[in-house]
Amino acid sequence: MAEKKKKKRGGIIVLILLLLLAGGAGAGYYFLVFKNKPPETKNIRLSEEILSFSIKTIPELAQALLSLDYELYLIDKELQRLDQMDKDYPRQKQIIAKQRNEINSIRKNISTSLADVEKDVEAVFVSYSLNSEKGLEMIEEKKPGMLQLSRNALDDSRELTERLAHNEDKGLVDKIKDKLLN
């Protein structure tokens, strides 16, 4: 009877060890495959290769790009909400139209800034790919301007999007933070 208990315990221990080994292998696979992948974006038009490059070489700019992308996400959700309100309250079109115009103005500003920064990031990437020394020089030269342009666009939109973010699930932001900080 005691031998059966020992065999049972041994089997359970082996099973636990196998589960731990499988979990470790899964975590290792995740780390190798997904850790260096850039987060999903909806408005950033850079290739994964260029976005990964910016995360590795200019992380504060990559964070600004991802923040701009999230701002656009929030604004798009608000525009969808306004469209629904337009249908629900057709007699209030003037109020809704005024808000939509303000939001569209902010959206255009962010989109333009994002496109300008993306163009510069792509130029830096190509320069770095051709000649790493010149690419590093170009990074140092363009970095302050790209960061300032991103900050300005974010500052312009923060008042609106901070209000919108309180109503939004924080899942996307947490995913972005996890990708950049871990």
Kindly report the pTM of this predicted structure: 0.67
Which residues have a Cβ under 8 Å from the Cβ of 86 and sit 6 or more positions away?
Answer: 93, 96
Residue 64's closest CA among 168, 178, 143? 143
Burial 112-122 (b: 16+ CB within 10 A, else e): ebbeebbebbb
Task: For residue 151, give the amino acid letter.
Answer: R
Residue 108's closest CA among 168, 64, 43, 173? 43
Whether the per-residue pLDDT at 123 is higher than 60: the answer is yes
Q: What integer pLDDT is reported at residue 110 of this predicted model?
A: 94
By CB atoms closer than 10 A (0-12, 13-18, 19+), residue 66 is: buried
Whether the per-residue pLDDT at 68 is higher than 80: the answer is yes
Which residues have a Cβ under 8 Å from the Cβ of 17 and sit 6 or more positions away?
Answer: none
Average pLDDT over residues 69-94: 92
Q: What integer pLDDT is reported at residue 36 of this predicted model?
A: 44
Which residues have a Cβ under 8 Å from the Cβ of 121 and sit 6 or more positions away?
Answer: 46, 50, 54, 58, 61, 65, 146
User: pLDDT tens digit string along 131-149?
Assistant: 999 999 999 999 999 999 9
- Residue 1 CB coordination number (10 Å): 5
Q: What letter would DSSP give residue 127? A: H
